[in-house]
Amino acid sequence: MPSIGWQEVLIVMFLVLLIFGPKRLPEIGRSVGKSIKEFRTSTSDIKEQIMPEQTHAETAVKADSAATSRS
C-alpha cells in the first residue's frame, strides 16, 4: 500500500479549506481534538475496568521511576 505524499496532503488540505472555509477550520479542529481526548479517556477507563491490578501496578512503576529520575 503506497504512502500519501506531500502533493496529496496539499490537495486534501485545499479541498477541506474550500468545503468548510477558513472560519470553520478552528472549530472543526477543536471538535476533533475533543473527540480524540474523549476516546482516549474512555478506552483507558475500559482498560482499567478490565485489568485493574495491572494498570495500578503500571502506575506505581511509573511513579517510582519518575521519583528516582528526579533524585
pLDDT at 57 over 80: no
Instruction: Please write the tens of the pLDDT for every residue from 4-20.
Output: 899 999 999 999 999 99
Lowest mean pLDDT among 20-24, 50-54, 65-69: 65-69
The pTM of the whole model exceeds 0.95: no
At which residue does the C-alpha cell 496532503 appear? 9
Residue 3 lies in a domain: no
Q: Report H helices in the chain.
A: 6-20, 25-50, 52-70
| Residue 47 structural domain | 22-70
Q: Report the domain count for the chain.
A: 1
Residue 47 lies in a domain: yes
